[in-house]
Amino acid sequence: MLKLSSIYAPINEGLKGVEDEFKLVSESRKQSFPEMAEMLDYILVGGKVLRPALSMLSAMCFGTGIKKVLPLATSSEMLHIATLVHDDAIDKADTRRSRRTVNSVWGLEKAILLGDFLFAHAAEVAAETDNMRIVTLFAQTLQIIASGELKQAYASFNPDQSYENYLERISGKTAALFVMATKGGAILADASPSDEEIMRSYGYNLGLSFQIVDDILDFVGNAKDMGKPVGSDLNNGTVTLPALLLMDRYPENNPIKDMLGATDRSAHVARAVEMINSSDIIDLSYKEAKRYADLACQDLSKLPKTAARESLYQLAEFIVERKN
C-alpha cells in the first residue's frame, strides 16, 4: 500500500514551510494574548495536509516552485481547519482525530470565535499570493462550504434524499476546497485555461472520492483508527452514500427511517451499521469512490510527465485505499 510520506517526497520542503507558517500565527500572540496562542498551538496541526499538498503538486506540474504556492497552501489548510472547528462546535462533537475538539476543551463560544479568526487569517494569507483570482476563489470556496453545510443542516433528519442531493452536499463540503487547492495552484503557475480545467476537474473528482471514502469509513472503520465513534454521521442525522443505498434497498422498512424519527437513535444506528456491513453496500460505495478517483485522473496524461504528476496519480489511489 502507498504511503503518504513517499507520495509527498517532491514537496517535503513545502509542507515544512506550511508547518512553520502555522507556528508563526501562535508565536506572534504568545506575549499579547497567551490564552489564544494556546488555542492556536492546539489546533494549527496538520493532519494529512492534503490541501497544501494538492496546491503544491498542481503548481509543480507546470514547473512552478513551492515558494510561490506557499501562501495558497497555508491558506487552504487553515480554511479547512477553521471549517472543522465550526463543524465540531455545531455538532457538539467531543473528539476529532482522537483528540478533544476545541469546543469540548474551551466551550462553544470560544470555538466559534477562534473559527472566525482562522477564516480571516486564512483570507489574509490568501491575499499574500498578491493574486486577486486566488482571493476571489478563496472567498467563493468558503461561501460554497457554508451554503453546503447550511443545506445539510436543513436536510438533516430528512429521509427524502436523493443521490443528487448527496453529491451536491459533498461537493460543497469537500470538493470545493480541493478545487481551491488544485485550481489555485494552476492559477499561480499561470497555466493555460485548459490546464486549469484539468486541475479543477482533478480536485473536484478527487474531493468527491475522498468524501465518499470518509463516509464509508464512518461505517466500517473502528473508533480508534477514525478517532470518532462509528456511525456518527447517522447519529448526527446526516445521510451519506451507504445509508442512501440501504434505504434504496429496503424502501419500506429500514433502520435509517426508524432512526430519523426516533429520540433514542443508538439501537437503530447500530442496526444500520450492521446491515450495511453484512451486505455488498460497502463494495458498491467503494466502486463509486473508485469511479470518481479515475475521473479525477482522466486528463492528467495530457500534462508533462513529472514527479508531481506521478504523485497526483498516487494520491488518487491512496485516497481510495486509506483506512483512516
Residues that bind a copy of itself (CB under 8 A): 29, 33, 35-36, 86, 89-90, 108-110, 112-117, 119-121, 123-124, 126-127, 130, 132, 135-136, 138-143, 145-147, 149-151, 153-154
**Alpha helices, DSSP H only, in 156-229?**
163-170, 176-188, 193-220, 223-226
Nearest approach in angstroms of CB 36 to a copy of itself is 6
Phi and psi of 96, rounded to 5°?
A: -150, 130
Closer of 63 and 107 to a copy of itself (Cβ)? 107
Sign of CA dihedral 304, 307, 310, 315: negative
Residue whose C-alpha cell reads 504528476 in the numeric block = 309
Residue whose C-alpha cell reads 439501537 in the numeric block = 267
Nearest approach in angstroms of CB 118 to a copy of itself is 8
Closer of 121 and 265 to a copy of itself (Cβ)? 121
Closer of 6 and 147 to a copy of itself (Cβ)? 147
User: Which residues sit opposite 96 in a β-bridge?
Assistant: 99
Nearest approach in angstroms of CB 114 to a copy of itself is 7
Closer of 60 and 155 to a copy of itself (Cβ)? 155
Nearest approach in angstroms of CB 117 to a copy of itself is 4
Between CA 67 and CA 65 the distance in angstroms is 6
Phi and psi of 278, rounded to 5°?
A: -95, 10
Closer of 126 and 281 to a copy of itself (Cβ)? 126
**Euclidean distance between the first and final Cα of the chain, in Å?**
13
* Contact between 139 and 122 (Cβ < 8 Å): no
Nearest approach in angstroms of CB 145 to a copy of itself is 8
Nearest approach in angstroms of CB 125 to a copy of itself is 8
Closer of 112 and 270 to a copy of itself (Cβ)? 112
Q: CB neighbours of 14 closer than 8 A, spacing ≥ 6?
A: 52, 56, 66, 69, 70, 73
Please give the C-alpha separations between residue 271 and each of 186, 199, 236, 258, in angstroms, as whole numbers. 46, 41, 16, 10
